[in-house]
Every structure is written in C-alpha cells, then in structure tokens.
C-alpha cells in the first residue's frame, strides 16, 4: 500500500509539474504586430537634426568670422569716419562751448545717424578702447556701431552713431532691409533643406518599411519571404544578411521537420521488433531461443544507436557546419588507411585500393576529422549493396583530387542519382538489417564535400553497379581566404 501511495504521489507530482509548465507556456502570447514606420516622424526628426545642426554651425561660423575681423572692421571705421569727425569737431569749436548742444543738434539734422556730446566720466568702455579715447584716438563700442572722439583738451566726448540704419528712429516703424533679407534668406534655406531632407529620407523609409513587412511575413510563418529590391545602397548589406538569415531559418526548420518525421518513422521498426522479442522471451522457456532473442534485441539497440548517431551528425552538419581545420596530408597513404579501417565490415567482399593515377607523394588539403565521414559512408553504402567486389580508386584531374568507390551491385537508375544524396532517401524498400540503412550516409558525405568546396556525385560503375565520386581542390587556402 505504501509503495502504491508513493507511486501515486510521484505521479501526481509529475502531472502537477507538467500542468505548471503548460500553464507557463499557456500564459505566453506573442506580441501583436503593430504600427509601421512613419515617414512624417522620420522626416521631422531628421529635418530637426539637420536644421539645428546647420543653425548652430552657421552661428558659430558667424561668431568666429566676426571675432576674427572685428579689429579690421574697427580700424576701417575709424579711418573711414576720421575726416567727418574732424570736420564736426572744427565746426563745434567755431562756437562757444555753451552753444555746443545747439550746434550738434543743427549738424545732426544733416546726417542720417545721430550726434551727441556727453561727459567722459559717463562712458563705460573696454580698457583698450578707453585708452585709445584718452590718447586722442577714436574708440569703438563693443558692437562696432558707435564711435567716440574726445574733443581736444576738454572732458567732453563726441558720440557718433549708431551707424546702422536699424538703430535709427526712422526705421523703427518697419522691418529694416537687412532684417528682411535675413528672414528671406533663412526661409529659402529652410525650404531647400526640407526638400533635400525629404528626398534623402524617403528611400530610407521605403526600404525600412519593406524590410519590416518582410520580417513580419517571416514572423507569420511565410518562410519563403525575402527582402525586396533595395533602392538605397545603405541597406544592401542589411538585405543580403537578412536574406541569408531567412534562408538559414527556412533550411533549419525544414531540416527539423524532416528529421522529426523521418526519425519517428524509422524508430517504429526496431521498437516494434523489440516489443515482439520481449513478448517472445516471456513466453519461451528454451535457453537457446532466449539467447537468440537477446541477440536480436542487441542488434535492434545497435540499430537505434546508429540511427540516433547518424541523425545527430546530419543535424549538426545541417544546423551549423563545424569549422574546417585544413591540413596537408600525403594522399595515397591516407586513403589506404581509411579503406583499411573499413575492411573488417566487408570481410566477404574483395575490397581493393588503386592510387597509381595519383602522383607519388601528393599532398592534399583536407579536414582530418570530417573527411573520413564521407569516405566511410561511401564504403558502408558499397559494402551494403556489393555482391562480391568493391574498387576504390583515385586520380588527379587538373587541380582537383577525385576518389571513386565502385561496386558490382544493382546500381542506381539515372533519374535517382541526384536524389540519393537527400536525407532519408532509400531506393530499396527493405527494412531488414542487411540492406536497411537510414538514408543519411550519402547526405552527410555531400555536406562534407560542400564544406571542402567539392562535389559528391553518383554514376554507373565499370563493375556494373554504382560509382560514387568525391572530388575537391587539392589546395584550398586561396578559396577559403
């Protein structure tokens, strides 16, 4: 009773954990697709950034230029106005000092800018300008618009200006010409900048929106969706990368579905045999029969182990091909060693190696870890179908090395010679251990050769059966770089 109670508790705990896991996944919902790239928002952001940057740069440049030419401007104004100020000074000294204010007003009416006389102590000038004023030279206000001249040996100063029209009373009622020109100039610049930004932003927005639509289609399960034609060269690499990612996702999902479907089908046969053999063991008392059934079950376990190992190898190559570690090997001894390691599986067959067509001491670049997969899988396939003889030969064709594995079996029809390299493809309908297989060996061989920039192909053998050929460049350093 205790054991059953514990078992029930464990079962409930297990189911409870499963329900919790389902509850967690049940609460998850993918975020809905929403919104799109707004052209007006993108345009406004870029325009604001460009306009702000332009204004800041313009103001900074104006400040630098004004500062740089300030001394030149002041000197020019002093020399330009010197004659006028001397004439005004001479005119004032023709009158008594008490009449100077009246005389200045009379003279002021003849000029477009203002004239005035103030006491020296009322002025607050920069030190440099104050020194110039006190030394008898002309001083200039910080904005460069007013001139100061000390009237000979007196404490009074003649003030000339502001000189700019905008500071005079007659212009106060309307916008000055300078201000109107500035407003017109900045308006034209703003409109031209807006047009330029619009034509600059629109292709980016169009490509971004197209990429978003493609990503959305992929997210909705349309795995054949690809990036549209990109009009902006800035997104060319992004589109290529996106398409590469989409193709990889599509291939991985297709491989996963293919593996799931094929493996579930392949597992049924050995599992069904093992279930039948277990039932037979429980029903027989003969030790010899029990031993035979145990050996059959061990063979079924070996078949399951081989299926899982082959499936994992194929999935690994398909999902993320391992990084190649190329190294030069002396070809003939290497090939003979690989064939010798498989000889034990074909004890009943005449297995020969012929490398006479390969130059002695030829060095070939290959991955010592992955290339044996291709050789051994071809040999396993030949051993499975050959009647009595297998010939392995090699030859050098231009700058490529080629390995041929020929058998005297039933051969492969021409229309099936390309399909045999697809995963889980078997031309025979048998499911027994002698000719069953999983249809993965040739697919793995082709994957390995593609990694080596080579080719795996099938043809008719001189022996009457099938010929499988592996060929790849002797030297691959330049290709990989």
Q: Please tell me the predicted confidence (pLDDT) of residue 67.
A: 65
Alpha-carbon distance of 55 to 52, in angstroms, equals 5
pLDDT at res. 398: 86
Longest distance between any two alpha carbons in the chain, whole Å: 153
Flag whether pLDDT at 303 surpasses 70.
no
422 vs 30: CA distance, rounded Å: 35
Q: Is the pLDDT of residue 6 over 80?
A: no
Tokens 């058998």 correspond to what residue? 407
**Interacting residues of 263 by C-beta distance below 8 A, sequence separation 6+:** 307, 311
431 has pLDDT over 50: no
Please give the pLDDT value at position 53: 82
What average pLDDT is seen over the chain? 76
Please check the confidence at residue 250 and state whether its pLDDT lies above 50: yes
Strand partners, 457: 469
Coil, strand, or helix at residue 449?
helix
Strand partners, 141: none
**Mean pLDDT in residue range 140-157:** 78
The tens digit of pLDDT for each residue in 70-107 reads: 555 556 666 767 777 778 777 788 888 788 888 888 87
- 459-464 mean pLDDT: 91
42 vs 168, residue with greater confidence = 42
- Structure pTM? 0.46
Query: Positive or negative CA dihedral for 261, 267, 272, 275?
Result: negative
Which long-range contacts link 47-53 to residues 24+ away (Cβ below 8 Å)?
A: 47/193, 47/194, 47/197, 50/193, 50/197, 51/190, 51/193
Structure tokens at 241: 């990368």
What's the confidence (pLDDT) of residue 416? 87
Strand order through the sheet with 147-150 = 115-119, 156-160, 147-150, 139-140
Query: Residues of 198-223 as b/e, b for ≥16 C-beta within 10 angstroms?
Result: eeebeebbbbbbbbebbbeebeeeeb
% pLDDT > 70, the chain = 73
* Predicted local distance difference test score (pLDDT) of residue 146: 81
Sheet strands (E) in 24-114 = none
Q: Quick check: helix, strand or coil at residue 90?
A: helix
Confidence of residue 120 (pLDDT cuts 50, 70, 90): confident
Percentage of the residues of the chain whose pLDDT score is greater than 90: 14
pLDDT at 101: 81
> What six digits make up the tokens of 322?
């391992």
Strand extents, DSSP E, 384-427: 389-397, 400-407
pLDDT at 10: 41
- With a cut of 60, say whether residue 5 has pLDDT above it: no
pLDDT tens per residue, range 306-360: 667 766 766 666 666 667 788 899 999 999 999 998 888 877 889 999 999 999 9
pLDDT of 283-300, one tens digit each? 888 888 888 888 888 877
**Higher per-residue confidence, 215 vs 395:** 395
The CA-CA-CA angle for residues 218, 222, 227, to 5°, reads: 55
List the single range of 171-185, 211-225, 345-359, 389-403 with lowest mean pLDDT: 171-185
Instruction: Please name which of 373, 376, 379, 390 lies closest in space to residue 444, comparing C-alpha atoms.
Output: 373
The pLDDT of 406-426, averaged and rounded, is 82
Full set of structural domains in the chain with CATH: 39-171 (no CATH), 325-480 (3.30.565.10)
Residue 286: predicted pLDDT: 84
Query: Which residues on neighbouring strands pair with residue 459, listed in sequence order?
Result: 467
What lies within 8 Å, CB to CB, of 13 at 6+ separation is: none
Residue 464's SS3 state is: coil
Nearby residues of 40 by Cβ (< 8 Å), 6 or more positions away: none
Average pLDDT of the residues in 382-395: 92
What the block records as the tokens of 299 is 């063979």
Residue 437: pLDDT over 70:
no
Using an 8 Å Cβ cutoff, are 352 and 392 in contact?
A: yes
């Amino acid at each position: 009773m205790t054991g059953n109670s514990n078992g029930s508790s464990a079962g409930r705990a297990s189911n409870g954990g499963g329900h919790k896991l389902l509850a967690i996944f049940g609460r998850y919902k993918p975020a809905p697709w929403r919104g799109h790239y707004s052209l007006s928002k993108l345009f406004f952001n870029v325009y604001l950034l460009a306009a702000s940057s332009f204004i800041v740069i313009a103001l900074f440049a104006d400040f630098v230029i004004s500062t740089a030419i300030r001394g030149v401007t002041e000197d020019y104004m002093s020399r330009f106005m010197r004659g006028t100020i001397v004439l005004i000074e001479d005119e004032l000294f023709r009158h008594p000092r008490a009449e100077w204010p009246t005389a200045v007003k009379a003279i002021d009416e003849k000029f477009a800018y203002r004239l005035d006389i103030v006491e020296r102590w009322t002025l607050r000038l920069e030190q440099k300008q104050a020194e110039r004023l006190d030394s008898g030279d002309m001083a200039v206000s910080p904005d460069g618009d007013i001139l100061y001249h000390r009237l000979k040996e007196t404490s009074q100063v003649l003030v000339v200006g502001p000189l700019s029209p905008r500071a005079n009373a007659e212009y106060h009622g309307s916008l000055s010409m300078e201000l109107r020109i500035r407003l017109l100039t900045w308006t034209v610049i703003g409109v031209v900048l807006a047009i330029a930004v619009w034509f600059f932003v629109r292709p980016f927005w169009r490509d971004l929106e197209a990429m978003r639509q493609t990503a959305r289609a992929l997210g909705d399960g349309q795995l054949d969706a690809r990036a549209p034609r990109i009009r902006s060269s800035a997104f060319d690499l992004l589109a290529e990368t996106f398409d590469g990612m989409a193709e990889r996702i599509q291939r991985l999902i297709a491989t996963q579905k293919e593996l799931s479907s094929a493996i579930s089908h392949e597992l049924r046969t050995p599992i069904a045999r093992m279930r039948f053999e277990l039932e037979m063991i429980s029903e027989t008392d003969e030790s010899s029969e029990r031993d035979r059934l145990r050996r059959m079950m061990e063979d079924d376990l070996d078949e399951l182990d081989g299926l899982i190992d082959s499936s994992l190898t194929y999935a690994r190559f398909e999902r993320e091909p391992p990084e190649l570690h190329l190294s030069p090997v002396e070809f003939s001894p290497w090939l003979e060693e690989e064939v010798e390691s498989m000889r034990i599986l074909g004890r009943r067959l005449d297995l020969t190696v012929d490398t006479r067509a390969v130059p002695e001491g030829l060095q070939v670049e290959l991955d010592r870890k992955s290339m044996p997969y291709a050789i051994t899988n071809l040999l396993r396939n030949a051993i499975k179908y050959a009647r009595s003889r297998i010939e392995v030969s090699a030859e050098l064709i231009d700058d490529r090395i080629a390995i041929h594995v020929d058998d005297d079996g039933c051969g492969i029809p021409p229309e099936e010679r390309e399909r045999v390299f697809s995963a889980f493809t078997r031309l025979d309908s048998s499911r027994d251990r002698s000719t069953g297989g999983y249809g993965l060996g040739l697919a793995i061989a082709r994957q390995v050769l593609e990694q080596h920039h080579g080719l795996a192909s099938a043809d008719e053998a001189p022996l009457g059966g099938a010929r499988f050929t592996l060929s790849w460049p002797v030297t691959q350093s330049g290709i990989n770089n």
